[in-house]
Chains A and B, each alone.
Chain A
Amino acid sequence: MSVPRGEGSPHRSRRIPIALLALAALVALAGTAEAQTSARGAARFDRVIVLGIDGVDYRLLRQWIDDGRLPNFRRLAGLGDFKPLQTSMPPQSPVAWSNFITGLDSGGHGIFDFIHRDPRTLLPFSSMSEVKPPAQTTKFLGIKLPNHIRLPGSDHLLPLAGGTTENLRQGKPFWKTLGEHGVPTVIQRAPVNFPPLETERGRALSGMGTPDVQGTLGTYAYYTDAPPPGYESFSGGKIFPVDVYDGKVEARLFGPPNDFIDYDRIQRRTGVRVAYQDRKASVPFTVYVDAENPVAKVVIDGKEILLEQGVFSPWVEVNFHLLPTPGFIRWAWHDLVGVTGMVRFYLKETHPDFGLYVTPVQISPMHPALPISSPDEYAPDLAEAIGPFYTQGLPEDTKALDRDVFTNDDFMKQAGLVVDDENRMAQYELERFRSGFLFLYFSVIDQIGHAMWRTMRGQETHPAHRSGIDDPYADVYVGIYEELDGMVGRALEHVDDRTCLIVMSDHGFSSWRRAFDLNRWLLDNGYLALKPGTAPSSVSYLQGVDWNNTRLYAIGINGLYVNQLGRERYGIVPPGPQKADLLREVASKLEAEVDPTNGERPILKVFLNSEIYSGPLAAQGPDAQVGYNRGYRASDESAVGEVTDAVLSDNRRRWSGDHCQDYREVPGVILANLPIRTREPALTDMAPSILTLFGVPVPEVMKGTPIF
């Protein structure tokens, strides 16, 4: 892919110790070069704590503080200040948190959307991180050699190098600068920080962007003898039809793709291509279902777990063996040729139908298969101190809720587990925090906002609201604000006159009632063309687009791209005045669109790349970002390069709140126990502000200015 890679060398997978040793040597050398402590002025505080609460909305927080429901937020505001915090465009978490982390806009850190596209292949990919399997070949003294040893008489390979794990964000995190100036740092689950960058005197655990063991953003499994219609096409989860025979269910839990097998050889031998799903390592398990009571027992990987209907099991470690090895040496081989994952089971129902949900297989914090912490021992140490926890970024399972694998109640129970993780991690770090910088991240307000917005009081006319079913959940959203209010209270207990406490969010929130299919609009308005005979509904990931007659296309949640000559694989629009005229023309038309059902404008403003980005990476981003009105957002289909039948449609998904709109409509918040000097603080101001609180000079490259 053409996107430049994250700072420093790519992190090597831990499977092959030889490769790790080499990397460790490189990291050690890099560390030596940067170890010197630079000059630092007088610090205003010994300790700065930031609670980074994703998705706290300025209007709602103001309202609920005024209603007296959030006494600790009110107290903090009274000690200093409370203002809206200008978010990024687009106001998507990876973009917004990258602005916070680097003090740069997307032109500097290179994150423009959850989804980027490769102009060479025109395929979308996740913008935050990339996990790659080992390369098939390597070069030694200019000679191309196989990167594996073939095990005689079998289809198995022993790779000679590990895969790579890369953070795709560019730009230097401000906490690395703090570390270089001797300030200790603890960074808990910061988004777009996988794998975490090693920092002088720092500890970090990765957050949003951390994959599950399968390398995806989260894929749950659901085993049932009553699969719902259309289950084969569910996204974000796999439904496995099973039979309950004599009170017993036999199934398999799928783990990482097995790179130790030569699939080409199998295809040559059998003539059959091994499908991607079948390339995954798996572990068999058996469920014994009680004939009368709503309980069951799971036997997996030598462990027995008792399950009670409606209750999540404790975390269970599962070992995926990538090469067949005799049992007596398996323990010794496991670090070389195995991956340890971790799951919770949730017995959803036993009679008359059987349903067992299993969480996405987490990278185990006790035995991490990929680098989720820096230093490496931080994740296992934390797990030992507070117990196992979700390691996947954004672990609230909104995908299971979207397809009714979870009910509202199931989802709130599962989100409660995440709240518990976040609280335990925060409490542990707050209690041992003596000096320096502490960042604690909380995802639940954002994720519950997305998933449960339709249940809120006042949302009874939301297209996704189900009368009767959703009404009992009218207070869950304010309830989660109250939960976080408790966390603010616990943080306030650690504040003294040498401690600065900042509570902030990356963006606000709004309803999402109507979906705008930007690719359909481009098709209807002659900017995008399909190959002859191609039905719009058959276009997937932009395949089926007639590139010779396409001037614009949409990919990502807010991104609009010109099919540019010399950049896109089949580009036709020359850069320069012709491109600029095209963008001005399309912006003006989109901003004039009106929703015939209510007379509202779905799009408030189309922001041109040159208006909002500066920096060396700006040209890699979309040519324009679409600023949707409150209540509107790009359709799911348009975001991945598909085309539906209508430009506008009701959003009936459980995912009923959103914020990927015009950034001016969804500001985040900032509260601190000291006054904010500037009238309109912005996310890019945060890095320079925190550096200044410690007396550390602000790098010239940063866009923002100190606000305190």
Chain B
Amino acid sequence: MFGGGHKVKVSDELYERIVKYAKLAGYSSVEEFVLHALEKQLAQLEEAQSDEEIKEKLKGLGYLG
């Protein structure tokens, strides 16, 4: 789908939606929009705490056995 030696296949329908919203959101290219969306999603996931940590933090609550 875009350069750098890596390609991702998307359906025609998804591609049309990407083109539409890239324009609506004011991106200069489809590629810029896709890269931004992926970066944003990855950043969220990278920041997310591990399940293990979340569980341990809640376990001290006396209300839960």
Q: Considering the complex, which residues of chain B in the window 9-55 have a beta carbon less than 8 Å from any beta carbon of chain A?
A: 44, 46-48, 50-55
Are A124 and B53 touching (Cβ within 8 A)? Answer: no
Decide if A541 touches B64 in the complex (CB within 8 Å).
Answer: no
Main secondary structure of the interface of A (DSSP, over half): loop
In whole angstroms, what is the CA distance A636 to B62 when docked?
10
CB of A112 closer than 8 Å to a CB of B:
no
Q: Give the distance in Å from the alpha carbon of A340 to the alpha carbon of B47 in the complex.
A: 26
Residues in chain B near residue A541, CB distance under 8 A: 51, 54-55
Known: A123-B51, A541-B51. A276 touches B62 (CB 8 A): no
Within 8 A of B (CB), among A266-307: 275-276
Whether A216 contacts B64 in the complex (CB less than 8 A), given A135-B47, A541-B51, comes out as no
Q: Does B8 contact A (CB under 8 A)?
A: no
B48 contacts A398, CB within 8 Å? Answer: no
Segment of A113-121, A525-533, A663-671, A697-705 in the binding face: A113-121
> CB-CB < 8 A to A125: which residues of B?
54, 57-58
Q: Are A655 and B60 in contact (CB under 8 A)?
A: no
Cross-chain contact A217 with B60 (CB below 8 angstroms): yes
Q: How far is the CB of B32 from chain A (nearest CB, A)?
A: 15
* Nearest CB of A to B50, in Å: 6
* Pairwise interchain contact B65-A653, C-beta atoms closer than 8 A: yes
Q: What's the least CB distance linking B65 to chain A, in Å?
A: 4
Q: Please tell me if the beta carbons of B65 and A640 are within 8 angstroms of each other in the complex.
A: no
A636 to B65, CA, bound (A): 6
List residues 136-153 of chain A with CB under 8 A from any CB of chain B.
136
Interface size on A, residues (CB 8 A): 42
**CB pair B56 A276 closer than 8 Å:** yes
* Count of interface residues, chain B, beta-carbon cutoff 8 Å: 20
Closest to B50 in A: A276
* Structural contact, A235 and B59, CB atoms closer than 8 A: yes
Q: List residues of chain B with CB within 8 A of the CB of A394.
A: 62
Is A402's CB under 8 angstroms from B63's CB?
Answer: no
Closest to A447 in B: B62
Verify if A126 is at the interface (C-beta below 8 Å from B). Answer: yes
Contacts of A583 in B (CB 8 A): none
Nearest-Cβ distance from residue A63 to partner chain B, whole angstroms: 25
CB-CB under 8 A from A380, the residues of chain B are none
Q: Which residues of A contact B55 (CB under 8 A)?
A: 541
For B48, the chain A residues whose CB sits under 8 A away are 121, 123
Cβ contacts A188-213/B at 8 Å (1 or 0 each): 00000000000000000000000110
Q: Which residues of B contact A126 (CB under 8 A)?
A: 57-58, 61
Task: Say whether B64 contacts A636, CB under 8 Å.
Answer: yes
- Is the pair B64, A235 in contact by a Cβ cutoff of 8 Å? yes
CA distance A658 to B61 in the complex (A): 13
Q: Given the known A-B contacts A121-B48, A124-B54, A136-B46, are A216 and B62 also in contact in the complex, defined by CB atoms under 8 Å?
A: no
Closest to B53 in A: A276
Contact assessment for B57 and A216 in the assembled complex, using a CB-CB cutoff below 8 Å: yes
Q: How far is the CB of B7 from chain A (nearest CB, A)?
A: 25
- Chain B residues contacting A660 (CB-CB under 8 Å) are 63
Cα distance A475–B38 in the bound complex, in angstroms: 62
Tell me the nearest residue of chain A to B59, going by C-beta.
A235
Check if A360 is an interface residue, CB within 8 A of chain B: yes
Which 6 residue pairs across A and B have the least CB separation, nearest first? A217-B60, A218-B60, A235-B59, A398-B62, A636-B65, A276-B52
Having A120-B44, A257-B53, one finds 10 other A-B pairs with CB under 8 Å, namely A123-B54, A124-B54, A126-B57, A216-B59, A236-B61, A396-B62, A541-B55, A653-B65, A655-B63, A655-B65
